[in-house]
Structure 1
Amino acid sequence: METNQDLGRAFHGEDRLTALPDVLRVQILSLLPCRYAVRTGVLSKNWKILWKQRFNHTTTLKFGRKYQNPANQQELVNEIQNYMLAHENRKIETFHLYFHPDTLNPETVCNWIERAIENGVEELYLDFSQGIVSLKPTGKLRTGRKKFKLPESVFQFNRSLTSLSLSFCTLTGRYQFGYFDCLEHLQLQGINLNDTMLVKVLYNCPKLQSLELRECMSLKYVEDIGSYSQIKKLTIVHCPNIEVIDILAPLLHSFHFLGKFPRKFTLAVPFLSDCIIMSTLREYEQITNNWEVTLLKHDSLQVLTTCSSSLQLILGSGKIVGASLKNLQELQLCMENLRSSDLLNIYKLFMRYKLQQLETLFIELPTSWSDPDLELDMVQKNPPVLNLRNLKIIKLNNFKGHINELFLLDFLLQNAVSLELIVLAFAHEYDRAGGNSVRLFNQLSQNPRASPTARMKLTYTSLDENNTLKPAHSKHRSLKIFMFLVSVVIKFACYRYAVVRTLLRGKSEKDISSVLSSKTIGQNLYYTKLGLYPLYLEMHFGTD
């Protein structure tokens, strides 16, 4: 009986394909998608390194961010034209264009894309913003620039495209997405994608595995995901006009959502293992359905990242449900605030859901230097007692020693019975602003803990960038932007704190009140708005 290994063999036991000259076999490999060509290396010794010679017949053209500010646009156009002519008869593996045509004839740009398509391009990245985009995620260009109009006809000869990224352009006509039979990865940003177009994408791209939608302002309904395709990863970022997300996707294992919560949300995904839920809502808003049932009823979930606003939406109803996260291994909480209600929401999250497999916990603490008022009776009354038996590593970032942070730290130390390491990452400017991180750390090191083997480590956020102890989602682009903004805010807050400390040193309470109420200082540094006044009084009249 023949096996798969016998398929290429002739009647006399000869492997005719392997018997071909290397030149012909390399030519055959050059016609295959890259990943399939690499797989031929396991067939036999004669094929082991042959696929590497395939790249002599292919090329990669990248006109990326180094062309962001060309001194002469025509010079850049000429360079692209010369590259295209030089590789006219070679297969193009990747074509990356980061360019705004401005007054350039659109037909010239379309001709570049068509030539790449005809040369069998597999990965096509088209970003027509050239970095000149709105400061807010609105999907618009700045300085009154108009988006490039991209007709669907440029893709009509596509037979090999597996990855496509379109950013900041207008899809003209009635896009059918009918030329993407092999497409597996699709990213759309700042595109006029509407509900009808999305249905066409799902229906006409049967091999689609990854879909990423960013700043698509015309999109209102995200439905039938997985009904027509094999999508395994779905990302939705800053699409604020979406009203309904109704997902039935049996193969989906990764779901990332950052932005305004929709009016209705249903996520029927039995094997979801990777999830990001980040909300832009500042306060709890009434949602028409129960987020706990539709979102967190996933026992297969292993990695979760969420924020304080999302916790308000998920836990704000106060209803206890029977859902569990029993297989969750890593949890990251990005806390914009840490008031009494936020602290209680963290307690609720641990109490309501079974987190028996949780091993690693990352908490991004607020960047504000004001210590929020806590309702101590609410926080101290009946503190939860849990058995986090598998929690081994905890990292608190932007730690400042505020009373709410101390309550959180004590809660974790008392309940993590198998804890091995807890990292307190102070802002590097903490000491410059008058704090003493080493002294505070030494004091906290004496705190009682449930795990006798737990050790505490001191570090600083600015020195921790290359640390291997990072959340699984730390490389996510939107989260990296979020963390960058956090670092900017905290550095600016430290600077203001240091300035205030210098101005108020040695002054009386009356003088402090006068300084804080002065028009120049008060308006420029926003002392009162920051809520720092009680802290300054304590700094002056208390021990330094």
Structure 2
Amino acid sequence: MAIESDGGGGDGARGKRRRRVDVFRISALPDDLRRRILTHLPLKDAIRTGAFAQGWRDLWKSRWAEPTSCLDIHLLPGDKPTEVLRLLESGPRRRLDRFSLVVDNQRLRNHHLRRLLAYAAECRVEDLQIDLRCCKPSEKFNYHLPLSSPLLAHLSLRNINISDLYYKDARPFLALEVIRLHSVTSSVRFTRVLALCPRLRILDLRRCYCGHVLLGNRHIPAPNSLSRINIAECYGETRLHTVGVPRLRSLRYSGDFVLYPYHLPKGAAPTDLYICLGEPIPPYRWNRMFPDDLSGLTVLTVCSNALKVASSMLNDRPNCRWDKMSKLPNLKELQLLMLEMEMHNLADIYLLLKSCHFSNLEKLFVQLPATSDVPLGDLVEEVSVELPGDSLVKLGMVKVMNFNWRRFELKLVSLLLRKATSLHKLLLVSPNVDPLHVPGVQEADLLLLKEALASGRIIVSESDDPAIQPFHPEVFIEE
């Protein structure tokens, strides 16, 4: 579908006029004819036609008016898989944008699943979603990648096994860009799968068992296009330092680093990092968590266990910085996941703010634990910090979740009010909208808080505002 002028050497204004005329002419076609044009395009190209003109937006969603290009099957407990297959296989094959199968039925057998997947492949599906929620426990359900559609672009699997892959005989999947696996067991080294997907951009693994080596093989390189890796509560060691991932820009890791560590390549240059550790790790493993250059990092999410490790390093060597973590000149958003919150956790936060010189930080999110055994009037030793003069000068918005008016929480808020000169909005999401009287808080801090509440600089709400969310909205793995 050509929309550009082929006039060659005309001036720029005339070329633009011709292109506008071409767009107008093709947009003047009847909707049915334009839908027919879209049926000849891959899904992602059909979606991009929405940039042509207003009349093309969302037209791709109805490019097959009857029957629909999306097929969603939900096998309920009383359904018969053979009857569903009979209805599907008796009709004509049509190209599908999406094929979704959700199983809440213990009658499903592996040969039923093979036939359903074969049907999806014959329809040249582009987005395949399989979720086996409830199946016969003794049945082994396998997904065989080489039998997939050649147009497969998005693959999402849950509660299924990836069967053995004969690498030498397998054809590449040139369209596959996104792989999302949840509770999947793989008997295949993942490098063999990735080697068949040269355009893969996103790899998302959650509660998967993928053996000892999830990624990394000098002889089978990862795809150059791989830019985002999410690993949450997986069993297996993730080695990225032995293989080039030149375009890796996003890494989100949640799990037990001691048992199932990951290793980043030193040359990686991520723009966003999410690190949530199940428990604190030995300080000597700290450097393995980060590449050498973090100067391009714009978004960082860390949990209190990670902060505790860094804090212990500072206590051992008080004159040192956090090396890699101290050089974050472009960081614009920071999220702190406080798995527990006591006064020593507040000290860890202060050390982070002091050591990293957040001169360009614009947004700060603090996720406090929903419940705490610490009393409201916790009388412990004072924690104080003197921040550098250039720290927090651009911080304009702070959001604190599960705020309970405890003493260490009030101290953090009062510090931010004093040091963040550009702060115009401080959101406190709290079950107690009215400020509580907390003993042990200095009068100057209370006066500062009351003035901020009266001026609207501090906003207290019982419910979260969905419009103001961090870049990494998921705190823990989804169930």
| TM-score range for the pair, normalised by the shorter chain length | 0.7 to 0.9
- Pairing 1:72–2:78 present: yes
Q: Deviations over 1:181-240 (max 9, x none)?
A: 21011112222225x521112211001111111222233234449743311211111114
Instruction: Give ranges in structure 2 of 5+ residues lacking alignment.
Output: 8-21, 315-319
Which stretch shows the higher mean deviation, 398-407 or 175-184? 175-184
Tell me how far apart the structure 1 counterparts of residues 437 and 31 of structure 2 sit (CA, whole Å): 70
The answer to whether the 8 Å contact 1:389/1:418 transfers is: yes
Tell me how far apart the structure 1 counterparts of residues 77 and 289 of structure 2 sit (CA, whole Å): 55
Tell me which residue corresponds to 2:469.
Answer: 470
The answer to whether the 8 Å contact 1:95/1:123 transfers is: yes
- Pairing 1:165–2:161 present: no
| 1:203-218 alignment, distance < 5 Å | 203-218=195-210
Q: Deviations over 1:358-379 (max 9, x none)?
A: 11111111233322767515x2
- Pairing 1:82–2:104 present: no
Tell me how far apart the structure 2 counterparts of residues 312 and 77 of structure 1 sit (CA, whole Å): 56
Instruction: Give ranges in structure 1 of 5+ residues lacking alignment.
Output: 8-14, 133-142, 482-544
Q: Deviations over 1:396-454 (max 9, x none)?
A: 22112222212222222221111112122212xx58xxxx636679x966227999987
Rate the CA distance shift 1:374–1:305 in 2: closer, same or farther, 3 A.
Answer: farther
Tell me how far apart the structure 2 counterparts of residues 317 and 276 of structure 1 sit (CA, whole Å): 20
Tell me which residue corresponds to 1:255.
Answer: 251
Tell me how far apart the structure 2 counterparts of residues 89 and 453 of structure 1 sit (CA, whole Å): 64
Tell me which residue corresponds to 1:458.
Answer: 460
| 1:195-206 alignment, distance < 5 Å | 197-206=189-198
Tell me how far apart the structure 2 counterparts of residues 112 and 233 of structure 1 sit (CA, whole Å): 30
> Alpha-carbon deviation of 1:245?
4.5
Tell me which residue corresponds to 2:19.
Answer: none
Rate the CA distance shift 1:167–1:477 in 2: closer, same or farther, 3 A.
Answer: farther
Letter in 1 for 2:471: A
Tell me which residue corresponds to 2:125.
Answer: 121
The answer to whether the 8 Å contact 2:405/2:436 transfers is: no
Tell me how far apart the structure 1 counterparts of residues 265 and 405 of structure 2 sit (CA, whole Å): 38
> Alpha-carbon deviation of 1:314?
4.1
Equivalent of 1:63, from 68, 73, 83? 73
The answer to whether the 8 Å contact 1:445/1:456 transfers is: no
Q: Deviations over 1:263-292 (max 9, x none)?
A: 4632446542222111111xx331544438
Tell me which residue corresponds to 1:221.
Answer: 213
| 1:303-322 alignment, distance < 5 Å | 303-318=299-314, 319-322=320-323
Tell me which residue corresponds to 1:330.
Answer: 333
Rate the CA distance shift 1:469–1:445 in 2: closer, same or farther, 3 A.
Answer: farther
Equivalent of 2:230, from 235, 241, 246? 235
The answer to whether the 8 Å contact 2:70/2:99 transfers is: yes
SS where residue 209 of structure 2 aligns? coil
SS where residue 313 of structure 2 aligns? coil
Tell me how far apart the structure 1 counterparts of residues 262 and 59 of structure 2 sit (CA, whole Å): 53
The answer to whether the 8 Å contact 1:40/1:48 transfers is: yes
What is the TM-score with the length of structure 2 in the denominator?
Answer: 0.78
Tell me which residue corresponds to 2:141.
Answer: 148
Tell me how far apart the structure 2 counterparts of residues 47 and 423 of structure 1 sit (CA, whole Å): 40
Equivalent of 1:401, from 405, 416, 436? 405
What is the TM-score with the length of structure 1 in the denominator?
Answer: 0.69
The answer to whether the 8 Å contact 1:360/1:394 transfers is: yes
The answer to whether the 8 Å contact 1:94/1:124 transfers is: yes
SS where residue 231 of structure 1 aligns? coil
Rate the CA distance shift 1:3–1:291 in 2: closer, same or farther, 3 A.
Answer: same
Number of residue pairs aligned between Structure 1 and Structure 2: 437
Tell me how far apart the structure 1 counterparts of residues 82 and 246 of structure 2 sit (CA, whole Å): 46
Tell me which residue corresponds to 1:299.
Answer: 295
Letter in 1 for 2:234: C
Equivalent of 2:346, from 343, 347, 364? 343
Letter in 2 for 1:228: P
Q: Deviations over 1:334-383 (max 9, x none)?
A: 10122343222211211221311111111111233322767515x24x54
Tell me how far apart the structure 2 counterparts of residues 374 and 264 of structure 1 sit (CA, whole Å): 40
Q: Decide which structure has greater helix share.
A: 1
Rate the CA distance shift 1:407–1:438 in 2: closer, same or farther, 3 A.
Answer: closer
Tell me which residue corresponds to 1:108.
Answer: 112
The answer to whether the 8 Å contact 1:426/1:437 transfers is: no
Tell me how far apart the structure 2 counterparts of residues 263 and 47 of structure 1 sit (CA, whole Å): 47
The answer to whether the 8 Å contact 1:414/1:449 transfers is: no
SS where residue 339 of structure 2 aligns? coil
Tell me which residue corresponds to 2:44.
Answer: 35
Tell me which residue corresponds to 1:526.
Answer: none
Tell me how far apart the structure 1 counterparts of residues 90 and 172 of structure 2 sit (CA, whole Å): 25
Tell me which residue corresponds to 2:178.
Answer: 185
Rate the CA distance shift 1:71–1:200 in 2: closer, same or farther, 3 A.
Answer: closer
The answer to whether the 8 Å contact 2:93/2:122 transfers is: no
The answer to whether the 8 Å contact 2:224/2:246 transfers is: no
The answer to whether the 8 Å contact 1:397/1:424 transfers is: yes
Rate the CA distance shift 1:311–1:267 in 2: closer, same or farther, 3 A.
Answer: farther
> Alpha-carbon deviation of 1:46?
11
Rate the CA distance shift 1:122–1:277 in 2: closer, same or farther, 3 A.
Answer: same
